[in-house]
Amino acid sequence: MMKRIATGLMAGAALIVAHGGAQAATEINWWHAMGGELGTKLEEIVAAYNASQDTYKVVPTYKGSYSETMTAAIAAFRAGEQPDIVQVYEVGTGTMMAAKGAIYPVYKLMEDAGKPFDPSAFMSAVVGYYTDTDGNMLSMPFNSSTPILYYNKDVFEKAGLDPEHAPKTWAEMEEFSRKIVSSGAAKCGFTTTWMSWIQTENFSAWHNQPIGTLENGFGGLEAELTLAGPAQIRHWGNLKKWSDEGLFQYGGPAGAADAAPKFYAQDCAMNMGSSAGRAGVLANAKDFKVGFGMLPYYDDVEGAPQNSIIGGATLWVLQGQSEEEYKGVADFFSYLSSAEVQADWHQFSGYLPITNAAAELTKQQGYYDANPGSDTAIKQITLNEPTANSKGLRFGNYVQIRTVIDEEFEKLLAGGQDAEAALKAVDARGNALIREFESANK
């Protein structure tokens, strides 16, 4: 046994030596938050890049959840040990953008490295979220998704509904849910993941309603939340009503850990979740057929349906590295946004294709025909050209504001306040957080 360990150690040492010898390539560090199968796929993509050339070597490191990855990168930056690239979730965008001395904007990086870079090649709904007011791209989109509706075709059939007809409006959601519950086909009509992202932010964009001043915060740090609009109040009020009637079941804060299990266990007939969850949904829905639909809307709200907004993460480049490394980052980004790589990533994960070319390629390859429902997300996010209300949002301290949204919604469900009071409380508490952020970033 000891001998075997010793041999192993020696082999390891030899490997390190051999590795060190071949280290002519410039190393580029990439901290990411993709665990599980997505992480494996990410490593495959990187390995393919490393094999394609020998000037640069990208080293991906998994740093845990999105917030852990971001915190780790910030701590590393303060200690002068930052990676070249870090993957940051969309709600961290405000924080990254405000840190002007810490980030190297992607449009500038590509320009300085002399790499061809055309922002219009990217999907506008994706890029809009990450550009400054002058239309410059600050970070590199990598994994973006948008919420869609998943429904249980078998339960629909049992309840006497047409399994090929996904509910289009909230009126239909209510009607279908009532039929499902009263017929005993399932215990509840629908549940949802991400109360904040889906039922508040996306809901507002989808109905072309603002959630804040200054173009949802894109215009500057002085923006304020205005979530307590008539459409949002109506929707939150309905969710509370439907929750009391048993048509809707709440799945928990943030990503709603209980929502997907409720759907898989056929307790709830419908679930709203990220399009990137498609593979997971299909793998878990063993006993029933899954249908896909766009998010429902209120057909009497003017402007609905507009387009949905994204979630997910982008790649930020951090300051303080050598020019040689930045050249490598630019080269790697060109590779990463190529149609082939993007189409492969999109088809594997369910994340959106970042470029129009990747979407086109996927279509040509016949993927959407072979996998019905896989293009729902793209159709929904590109339904209309984004407006000021539907290109995304950018507020400081948004990570905490998401928590505030969950908390006030929970208070509403528990019966402590009505929908208007809940959304007004979100505005008040959220604005305090935004002011806090503004004063820290002056």
Task: Report the alpha-carbon distance of residue 159 to residue 239 in Å, rounded.
Answer: 22
427 binds another protein (CB under 8 A): no
421 binds another protein (CB under 8 A): no
Q: Which is closer to another protein, CB of 195 or CB of 354?
A: 195
What is the smallest separation between the CB atom of 252 and another protein, expressed in angstroms? 5
What is the smallest separation between the CB atom of 400 and another protein, expressed in angstroms? 5
Q: Which is closer to another protein, CB of 92 or CB of 167?
A: 92
**What does the DSSP assignment read for 258-269?**
THHHHHHTTSEE
Q: Which is closer to another protein, CB of 356 or CB of 403?
A: 403
207 binds another protein (CB under 8 A): no
Cα 93 to chain centroid distance, Å, stands at: 12
Taking CB under 8 A as the criterion, the residue among 172, 175, 224, 267 binding another protein is 267
194 binds another protein (CB under 8 A): no
Q: Which is closer to another protein, CB of 306 or CB of 397?
A: 397
Backbone φ and ψ for 103, nearest 5 degrees, come out as -115, 155
Tell me the per-residue interface mask from 233 to 262 with another protein, x by CB under 8 A, - otherwise: -----------------xxxx----x--xx
Three-class DSSP category at 151: strand
77 binds another protein (CB under 8 A): yes
Task: Report the alpha-carbon distance of residue 51 to residue 310 in Å, rounded.
Answer: 32
Tell me the per-residue interface mask from 81 to 100 with another protein, x by CB under 8 A, - otherwise: --------------x--xxx
What is the smallest separation between the CB atom of 284 and another protein, expressed in angstroms? 14
Provide long-range contacts, Cβ within 8 A and 24+ apart, for 384-387. Answer: 384/305, 384/306, 384/307, 385/124, 385/307, 386/124, 386/125, 386/128, 386/306, 386/307, 387/208, 387/303, 387/306
Provide the 8-state DSSP code for 314: E
Taking CB under 8 A as the criterion, the residue among 41, 43, 71, 113 binding another protein is 71
What is the smallest separation between the CB atom of 415 and another protein, expressed in angstroms? 9
What is the smallest separation between the CB atom of 255 and another protein, expressed in angstroms? 11
- Residue at 423: amino acid letter: L
Contact 277, 263 (CB under 8 A): no
Exposed/middle/buried for residue 283 (C-beta within 10 Å: 0-12, 13-18, 19+): exposed
438 binds another protein (CB under 8 A): no
What is the smallest separation between the CB atom of 68 and another protein, expressed in angstroms? 8
Task: Report the alpha-carbon distance of residue 68 to residue 12 in Å, rounded.
Answer: 30
400 binds another protein (CB under 8 A): yes
414 binds another protein (CB under 8 A): yes
Task: Report the alpha-carbon distance of residue 76 to residue 81 in Å, rounded.
Answer: 5
- Residue at 242: amino acid letter: W
399 binds another protein (CB under 8 A): yes
**What does the DSSP assignment read for 3-67?**
HHHHHHHHHHHHHHHHHHHTTTSEEEEEEE---HHHHHHHHHHHHHHHHH-SSEEEEEEE-SSHH
Point out which residues bind another protein (CB under 8 A): 67, 71, 74, 77-78, 95, 98-102, 250-253, 258, 261-262, 265, 267, 397, 399-400, 403, 406-408, 410-411, 413-414, 436, 439-442
